[in-house]
Amino acid sequence: MAKTKAIRDVPAVTPELKTKYIRQNGNWYLISTISNNSEYPLLLARIKIVGEKSHRRILPVLYSDNYLTIIPGEDAIIKMELKDADTRGEKPVVAVEALNSK
């Protein structure tokens, strides 16, 4: 069994998220920039799309990347595409969860 204590002990990080939304031809196109302005890495960040009000996950979504680690001072740009019909009438919102996120 691998030892994971060092990973579990990495302090919590709050990533900064900025998203550009484009709704066109029955699709949503989202471009998110995730910034890590802390002094610790953001570990195994998982990107997902949820409904703005229900917070229910929206599927299917095409991601340019998903699980990623962002080192201090770095940014990651993720592009996402989904069908408007799959949103069930809600605006899609990007959510980020990580092993050590707040």
DSSP per-residue string spanning the chain: ----HHHHTSPPB--EEEEEEEEETTEEEEEEEEE--SSS-EEEEEEEEEETTT-PBP---EES--SEEE-TT-EEEEEEEEEGGGGTTSPEEEEEE-TTB-
Average of pLDDT values for 73-85? 98
How many CA atoms are closer than 13 Å to the CA of 3, on its beta-carbon side? 3
C-alpha radius of gyration, the chain, whole number: 15
At 2 the pLDDT is 62
Q: Which two tokens stand for residue 27?
A: 């699709």
* pLDDT per residue as tens digits for the range 5-30: 777 788 999 999 999 999 999 999 99
The domain made up of 5-97 has a fold known as Immunoglobulin-like (2.60.40)
Q: Averaged over 59-63, what is the pLDDT?
A: 98
Average pLDDT over residues 76-93: 98
For the whole model, what pTM was predicted? 0.89
Domain residue spans of the chain: 5-97
**Mean pLDDT across the chain:** 94
Determine the average pLDDT of the residues in 48-52.
Answer: 98
pLDDT above 90 for 51: yes
Which tokens belong to 94?
A: 């990007």
pLDDT for 9 equals 84
Residue 78 has pLDDT above 70, yes or no: yes
